[in-house]
Structure 1
Amino acid sequence: MNIGEFARLGGISTRMLRHYDALGLLVPAHVDPFTARRSYDAAQLPVLNQLLALKGLGFTLDEVGTLLREGISPAELHGMLRLREAELERQVRHNRHTLDRVTARLRLLEQEPQMNVEVKHVEGVTIAALSVPAADASRESTGAVVQALFDQVIDRMEAAGADRTTPVARYQPNANDPTVQVTAGYVVPAGSVPDLDPHTLPSTQVASLLHHGPMSTISTTYQALTDWAASSNRTPTSPTWREHYLEAPDNAQSTWLVEVQLELA
């Protein structure tokens, strides 16, 4: 096939194919001695895919050339790509959490001194978590439970060498008694942390307020959201809450930034 067709199948430009030819990374199967037109064979596509995969892993073109000459098995390349995939997922989680923090800080600046409720859609996420019931929905009950859960989750994640990004807690009332199911954990790929259960938090619409300061005063934020829901006729039959811990740098809690979310759907 000609260079344009081969470039189309490989998903790259003809300019890059010429560049790889000049470097000796992927030489055409045939070059016409009179017109200098390059032709490629379909059997060269796996080589091109290996080249692009290695480049995507961050190797320089010199390093790619060495690896291709020495030979790399599909299993080895697959393992390298899996590791790179995991690293990119980790970066995405960190970047998402950083963006949420920046957005929250902008809300604080723009809304001071009056905090306003924001209604928004949140995507579903999977957290590596532990879940137990609290005696009731009071902060005295749920606060102690969620702290104990996070302590256990952190211990298990540290033992597993797992990356901790985006701590989230969810409080869901049980239908037949006053208990509340408390779930606490960190956003991670599903099933990636031993001794912790993957919990999927559903995609939903929420009403949210930011709480800045110690957790001992977070009840005022809950009350403000509850009052908003009542005045807006948006009070759910069984209110389910989330706490998204955007900044929780120390035990003092004086600078903590937590987004409190009331699930509306």
Structure 2
Amino acid sequence: MRIGEFAQLGQVSVRMLRHYESMDLLAPDSVDPFTGHRSYTVAQLPRLNRIMALIEGTDMNHPDCIIKELPAERVLGQTVVLGEPPFDTSEIGPLFGSVADRLAEAGIRHAAGVGIYSDAGHGTEVTCGYRTESAQEIESLQVTELKSCTAATLIHEGSMSRIGASWQHLSEWCISQGYSLTGPCREVYLETGDDNTADNSDQAGWIVELQQPIIV
């Protein structure tokens, strides 16, 4: 992706990315030899977060936790209510597939997948959907308007079976910094690997940004 897109994804300025490059902290994935255009990949986002966290002096026990201002966004998806922990998440994957199929049928372009988690009183309500700028309504899909907010974030890499530990780390860091947790919290699926490979059965190649809205 172009440097501007990567800057937007990481919530930093293009100028700051060039500064990190000049300090040999984060080089572009590639540079066009003719135009000089710089390109980055999603896989570089964890390193960007690590650099930002360390430069900002974040608690070294959780060096990748950083605070971001999340913009408002629209998510089209479907919702399922899970029981009490430990959750049976077997419904979540197929639900994302169902939503993606409905969006494709409607010809709606979408960006990254988003899982939205909130307390439903009788369990945890999970909305599985995709970011979109489309205002079109689709039968069987609900629109969730996420408001802009301040959030603590952490990049989870690797097996999704360990994502619970990453959420625990993020929550502990928030509490240690004196932040109050609010909801709903979100998982943004930035990289979902190759669904055609056998080793993707546990989403081992996924890169997911955990977003915990906070009250500062």
Shorter-normalised TM range: 0.5 to 0.7
Partner of 1:135: 83
Query: Radius of gyration: which is bigger?
Result: 1
Q: Does 1:180 align with 2:124?
A: yes
- Per-residue Cα deviation, 1:85-136 (whole angstroms, up to 9, x for no partner): xxxxxxxxx9479844366243266479964210111011001111232223
Runs of 5+ unmatched residues, structure 1: 1-93
Partner of 2:163: 218
- Per-residue Cα deviation, 1:58-111 (whole angstroms, up to 9, x for no partner): xxxxxxxxxxxxxxxxxxxxxxxxxxxxxxxxxxxx947984436624326647
- Alpha-carbon shift at residue 226 of structure 1 (Å): 1.5
How high is the TM-score relative to the length of structure 1?
Answer: 0.55
- Alpha-carbon shift at residue 217 of structure 1 (Å): 0.9
Asked if 2 retains the 8 angstrom alpha-carbon contact of 1:115 and 1:209, the reply is: no
Partner of 1:257: 207
Q: Does 1:106 align with 2:106?
A: no
Task: Supply the distance in 1 between the matched residues of 2:123 and 2:68 (Cα, whole angstroms).
Answer: 28
Moved more, 158-167 or 188-197: 188-197
Instruction: Compute the RMSD of aligned alpha carbons.
Output: 3.1
**Larger strand proportion, structure 1 or 2?**
2
Q: Does 1:247 align with 2:197?
A: no
By relative contact order (CA 8 Å, sep 6+), the higher-ranking structure is 2
Q: Does 1:171 align with 2:136?
A: no
Identity of aligned residues (%): 25
Aligned amino acid, residue 104 of structure 1: L
- Aligned partner of residue 87 in structure 2, secondary structure: helix
Partner of 1:192: 136
Aligned amino acid, residue 213 of structure 2: E
**Larger helix proportion, structure 1 or 2?**
1
CA gap of 1:231–1:210, structure 2 versus 1, over 3 A, is: same
Partner of 1:160: 106
Task: Supply the distance in 2 between the matched residues of 1:106 and 1:192 (Cα, whole angstroms).
Answer: 36
Equivalent pairs counted in the alignment come to 169
Partner of 1:5: none
- Alpha-carbon shift at residue 150 of structure 1 (Å): 0.6
Task: Supply the distance in 1 between the matched residues of 2:165 and 2:100 (Cα, whole angstroms).
Answer: 28
Task: Supply the distance in 2 between the matched residues of 1:124 and 1:139 (Cα, whole angstroms).
Answer: 30
Asked if 2 retains the 8 angstrom alpha-carbon contact of 1:211 and 1:259, the reply is: yes
